[in-house]
Chain A
């Protein structure tokens, strides 16, 4: 079976889940249910698409299937920002309660951090730059999370509850204005990405082959990294950190589609991401009746899958 029928199956499955999510348990309150669930669905599709897209591109330019963009430290930076808002301004401050302001501040800070990281690193030229970037990302990430843990230790337990709320991604209270803004940013990123899309298949051959085949390697990789940074910043600021989602969907897309063509892989991983999130949210709402959030489930399944990937790789060597 080629990848086209498989993509059709995924699209159909995603559609069925979306319809189920929208109508099950509505009890005739259509006027209220449809807009409220529609908003949630919109948020799910946006984050799912952004994370899947970013991870797929990230794994291709690093040539590594067990990395996720969260290694760049953006998730930890987001947590640090939320913690510092509470630590310095209190849990009733506008920076925290006003979702739009919080979103804009978080995205701005994350994008700013990415540019600093990026400017510092790409001053020097060399083939190992990406790995250097990843190392610095890990170190910054660890630093940010230690700093936030420290602040979380010393604040009032009641305020800690507010932070805890932000630690797990949730689609339950997303602001509509933010959604449109994110959708716009996502669209701009995708349009910019189209200029580089033809290079992705070649990049998966590795740097030497890509240069040999005439890809302006350094330029393309830098632009793609910027796109990844922005996408992850949007997704994280919109709903919160989702570490393992990207890893999960990118690998499932590779395993399921069995192709190297990135056109299919990206669409496939976006669809799988939507299936996982809509399905997960459906289970959270109807089965666990909101007693947990979808990111807990995704991180649990993703974590198990990650260990499986490590063990399987270990055997192959």
Chain B
């Protein structure tokens, strides 16, 4: 499948600014989908109980780039993603997609969650058609777009099924198709394969790379799995915990298309060792802080 066939039917563009207008000049991601996170800090609570979750997080993602954010649990990586998605307001700094500051959730940023949050009451097709239906208001256009993306993820034959009838991996593929069907500038993935078993996860990683090869959107992928981050990403951004911040930004110089064999290449092993040491150091630090806090609380 080539790019033009992916664009699906020509969409009506109502007189509305923002993401809708962008849809008209949908092009292979050269000038579209630049994500800029500048000096982002996120804190919760007030006064003495105020806790900084993420501190001075800056990241630039080029259009069409696949960036993995790797970090130990509780480092605030999901929170960063939620700010980009528009669900959490930043305490400081700003986040922009193609120069437009983010203020609220929107169809220009597709989101894939850890559990496939497919709507159980909608068929697979209607789930994927949901985004286009919301933004275009036309169900026939939405269904056509949905069919395109269902075949992209290889599930065209299951359009009439309900999500519950699909396996976990298939559900997550539908989840990806649903997020892509809005032609998002940025695809946000929050540990999308975290709930899958190891074999399915490996299959899904390959599937995602194939989908991304065809539909080159900017991807921000959150994970705590080192190998997953290296296998998928152009860059691996390693985060440290308490407060969450970037400790390293490692380019992954493994050529594409990648295959599972790449897991054993020298470059892969080198980056894996580097990430492993960083993550281990950060996890140790977090443990010490926690036990220190526990000791203080006990004493």
Say whether A associates with B. Answer: no
- Seen from chain A, the residues whose Cβ lies within 8 Å of a Cβ on chain B are none
